[in-house]
């Protein structure tokens, strides 16, 4: 298993243990002991004040994995077993309104201020830091060393850029710095809060938090419990799965079916419909005089246009995403089945809320924990070959440039006018500003723009299981076989 840091290891370990207890039908009975077993009395605690704090963090990190969050605790004496019982008895298509949550017990160590003066300060005569501070927030101690008065400092950074000794350091709050739309900030208690009116669900905050305090609200136990109850469920799996395991995709598909799914359909099959519709639509829009068109398959980008760049919406393709078409293929084949999308994306949870044909969403990270928790060995599983073989271009949607290349190929194959295009891969602050400029002016340097929230495309999504560089190489190897 490829996990890049201890935050991911902890997340995987906790979910795997919860799933093991579910498999043994002991989740409600045994879950209250789990934090103690994970952090026994004489274990060494790193990064926490004491063993009791560590156990509290284990407890509260269990809530989003059970499909709940901190707001569901109205009484601190309520045991985990009660929340586990609620999770197993929960009915309905969706869970909580919020997609992400912050575990306040874990979110407690980030800096409250962005600039600090280190012991590199020489107490120089120039004192350019103080001379240039617009708020007079810099004082000097007895040794002549500069000190920032954080009560009046506005974190403008002028002192940082002025200091000739580079003695003033910038200390970002990692999740805030990673968020491209300013959707996360501290509340009055110093705990980060996610504003879902601004959030585009790119997931950058999840893995940027060094304390693992940000979680997706999971649907793992909604899916597992329905499978146990005998409900028919069909998995639709994103093309990025090709980059997740150094093993034949057929074996991975076999392992997914072993979880209990009735059937498995590649989302790449839906991508073929996206190519056809988007290529046709692009030709029509340009013929009507529209200056450019953007892709529509990245749900984070769709959230961006809805919440932050409404002027861009008229330039966004009306074509459905590959998940949209794959879900309808599944529903047509199995009208009485629940459809479960499996992919690397947080924002697909939001897209699924708007799609009546998608019932649940699981991430690659969650599915990998399901394999381990249920004792499924991917390497030794009986392979499953999907009956419908999708094109290489459809599988290529998972990587940056894949949609652009597929649409250009469609135009060429159908003897339609060629278009010039570009990629915007990675919805960071710079690229958000670039897209905002295109929307406001109605001008772009190309006719077709592929937009993906993740650098490198879906294969580097926030909820992947493999390391991104490894995933890219694995994906390229498997894509070459199609």
Domain containing 162 — which CATH number? 3.30.70.20
Q: Give me the half-sphere count of Cα atoms (radius 13 Å) on the Cβ side of residue 310.
A: 2
Domain containing 327 — which CATH number? 3.40.950.10
Of the three residues 217, 244, 270, the one that is the final residue of a domain is: 217
Q: What is the pLDDT along the chain (482 residues), one digit of tens a residue?
A: 344 677 888 899 999 999 999 999 999 999 999 999 999 988 877 777 788 889 999 999 999 999 999 999 999 999 999 999 999 998 865 578 899 999 998 887 677 678 999 999 999 999 999 999 999 999 999 989 999 998 899 889 999 999 999 999 998 899 999 999 999 998 877 789 999 999 999 999 998 998 899 999 999 999 999 999 999 999 999 999 999 999 999 999 999 999 999 999 999 999 999 999 999 999 999 999 999 999 999 999 999 999 999 999 999 999 999 999 999 999 999 999 999 999 999 999 999 999 999 999 999 999 999 999 999 999 999 999 999 988 899 999 999 999 999 999 999 999 999 999 999 999 999 999 999 999 999 999 999 999 999 999 999 999 998 777 777 778 777 777 76
Is 340 found in the same domain as 265?
A: yes
Is 146 found in the same domain as 85?
A: no
Is 472 found in the same domain as 458?
A: yes
CB-CB contact of 159 with 125 (8 Å):
no
Residue 134 within a domain:
yes
Is 268 found in the same domain as 228?
A: yes
Within 8 A by CB and 6+ apart from 368, the residues are 1, 12, 244, 465
Of the three residues 217, 246, 279, the one that is the final residue of a domain is: 217
Cα–Cα distance between 380 and 230 in angstroms, integer? 25
- Say what the alpha-carbon torsion angle 302, 306, 309, 313 is, to the nearest 10 degrees: 70
Residue 68 within a domain:
yes
Is 377 found in the same domain as 433?
A: yes
Residue 189 within a domain:
yes
* pTM for this model (two decimals): 0.92
Cα–Cα distance between 198 and 189 in angstroms, integer? 21
The neighbour count for residue 420, using CB atoms within 10 Å, is 11
Cα–Cα distance between 82 and 315 in angstroms, integer? 48
Strands (E), 36-96: none
Q: Which residue has the tokens 């491209």?
A: 180
Is 341 found in the same domain as 394?
A: yes
**Closest by CA position to 277, among listed 238, 332, 318, 327:** 318
Domain range for 167 is 115-172
Cα–Cα distance between 360 and 95 in angstroms, integer? 10
Is 387 found in the same domain as 238?
A: yes
Helix (H, G, I), strand (E, B) or coil at 270: helix
**pLDDT value of residue 1:** 37
Of the three residues 217, 251, 279, the one that is the final residue of a domain is: 217
> What tokens appear for 384 in the block?
């499953």
The enclosing H or E element of 402 equals helix 402-413
Is 408 found in the same domain as 279?
A: yes
CB-CB contact of 277 with 401 (8 Å):
no
Three-state secondary structure of 315-340? HECCCCCHHHHHHHHHHHHCCCCEEE
Is 301 found in the same domain as 407?
A: yes
Is 350 found in the same domain as 231?
A: yes
Is 348 found in the same domain as 293?
A: yes
Residue 1 within a domain:
no
Cα–Cα distance between 39 and 426 in angstroms, integer? 38
CB-CB contact of 251 with 417 (8 Å):
no
| Strand duo 360-363 + 421-425: pairing | unpaired
Is 313 found in the same domain as 167?
A: no
């Amino acid at each position: 298993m490829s996990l890049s840091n201890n935050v991911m290891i902890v997340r995987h370990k906790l979910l795997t243990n919860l799933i093991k207890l579910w498999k043994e039908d002991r989740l409600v009975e045994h879950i209250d002991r789990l934090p103690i077993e994970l952090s026994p009395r004489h274990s060494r605690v790193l990064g926490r004040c004491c063993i009791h704090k560590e156990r509290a963090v284990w407890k509260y990190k269990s809530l989003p994995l059970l499909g709940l969050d901190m707001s569901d605790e109205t009484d601190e004496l309520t045991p985990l077993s009660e929340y586990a019982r609620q999770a197993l008895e929960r009915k309905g298509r969706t869970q909580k309104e919020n997609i992400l949550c912050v575990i306040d017990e874990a979110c407690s160590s980030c800096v409250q201020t962005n600039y600090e003066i280190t012991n590199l300060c020489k107490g120089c005569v120039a004192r350019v830091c103080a001379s240039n501070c617009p708020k007079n927030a810099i004082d000097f101690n007895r040794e002549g060393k500069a000190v920032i008065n954080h009560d009046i400092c506005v974190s403008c950074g002028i002192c940082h850029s002025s200091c000739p000794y580079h003695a003033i350091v910038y200390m970002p709050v990692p999740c805030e710095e990673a968020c491209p739309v300013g959707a996360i900030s501290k509340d009055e208690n110093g705990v980060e809060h996610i504003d879902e009116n601004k959030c585009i669900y790119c997931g950058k905050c999840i893995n940027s938090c060094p304390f693992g305090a940000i979680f997706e609200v999971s649907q793992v136990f909604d899916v597992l419990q329905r499978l146990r109850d005998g409900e028919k469920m069909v998995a639709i799996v994103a093309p990025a799965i090709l980059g997740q395991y150094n093993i034949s995709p057929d074996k991975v598909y076999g392992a997914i079916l072993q979880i209990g799914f009735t059937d498995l359909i590649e989302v790449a099959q839906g991508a073929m419909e996206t190519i056809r519709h988007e290529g046709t639509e692009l030709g029509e829009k340009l013929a009507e005089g529209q200056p450019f068109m953007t892709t529509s398959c990245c749900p984070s980008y769709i959230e961006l246009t809805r919440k932050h760049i409404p002027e861009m919406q008229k330039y966004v393709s009306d074509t459905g995403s590959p998940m949209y078409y794959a879900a309808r293929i599944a529903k047509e084949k199995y009208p009485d089945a629940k459809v479960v999308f499996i992919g690397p994306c947080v924002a697909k949870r939001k897209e699924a809320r708007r799609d009546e044909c998608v019932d649940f969403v699981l991430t690659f990270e969650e599915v990998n924990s399901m394999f381990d928790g249920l004792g499924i060995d991917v390497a030794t599983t009986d392979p499953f070959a999907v009956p419908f073989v999708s094109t290489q271009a459809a599988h290529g949607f998972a990587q940056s440039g894949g949609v652009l290349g597929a649409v250009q190929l469609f135009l060429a194959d159908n003897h339609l006018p060629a278009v010039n295009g570009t990629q915007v891969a990675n919805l960071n602050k710079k690229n958000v500003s670039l897209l905002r400029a295109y929307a406001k002016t109605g001008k772009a340097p190309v006719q077709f723009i592929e937009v993906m929230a993740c650098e490198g495309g879906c294969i580097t999504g926030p909820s992947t299981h493999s390391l991104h560089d490894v995933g890219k190489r694995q994906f390229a190897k498997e894509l070459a076989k199609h």
